[in-house]
Amino acid sequence: MHQLLVLHGPNLNLLGSRETSIYGAGSLEELDRKLVEWGKSAGAEVTARQSNAEADLIQWIQEAPSRYDAIVLNPGAFTHTSIAIRDAIASVPTPTIEVHLSNIYAREEFRRHSYAAAVTIGQISGFGPYSYCLGIRAAIQTLKGEETE
């Protein structure tokens, strides 16, 4: 069974109360339960973590290769600011898929650039919680592709 690490960045702990017209009414706990279910039905075990601290996210990305086959990452606002997270992704062999609840290209100009995007397998943006489901599927597909290479 593939081991997937889902990382949620800053302010995603406030899902359900934060800007609900953009991010929806569901809580992070509800989302994390769905992630585990989506993983199971796709043949993967999902571990989800959230932090508001850039250092935690970097640490978890660095540690991922010893325990996880792929990372599904929503860097939150660090998407648009963090070269350090970008470098962490580039520093590990673990394939990373970038996901966003909202469509970052349909919002403010400053959200249109992602430092992470160039070092991820790909980016999924704008499908609400379903972005993570697609991210999990994309991660598994990537791993299957690696297995048949």
Q: In angstroms, what is the minimal distance from the CB of 13 to ligand DQA?
A: 11
Q: In angstroms, what is the minimal distance from the CB of 80 to ligand DQA?
A: 6
Taking the least distance from each CB to ligand DQA, the nearer of 34 and 143 is 34
Q: Say how far apart CA 76 and CA 81 lie, in whole Å.
A: 10
Nearest Cα to Cα of residue 121 among 70, 64, 85, 84: 70
Q: Say how far apart CA 16 and CA 89 lie, in whole Å.
A: 28
Catalytic residues: 23, 100
Q: In angstroms, what is the minimal distance from the CB of 110 to ligand DQA?
A: 8
| Site residues for ligand DQA per CB under 6 A | 11, 74, 76-77, 79, 100-102, 104, 111
Phi-psi region of 16 (alpha: psi -120 to 50; beta: other; left: phi over 0): left
Q: Say how far apart CA 82 and CA 149 lie, in whole Å.
A: 32
Taking the least distance from each CB to ligand DQA, the nearer of 2 and 101 is 101
Taking the least distance from each CB to ligand DQA, the nearer of 68 and 115 is 115
Query: Do the Cβ atoms of 57 and 85 come closer than 8 Å?
Result: yes
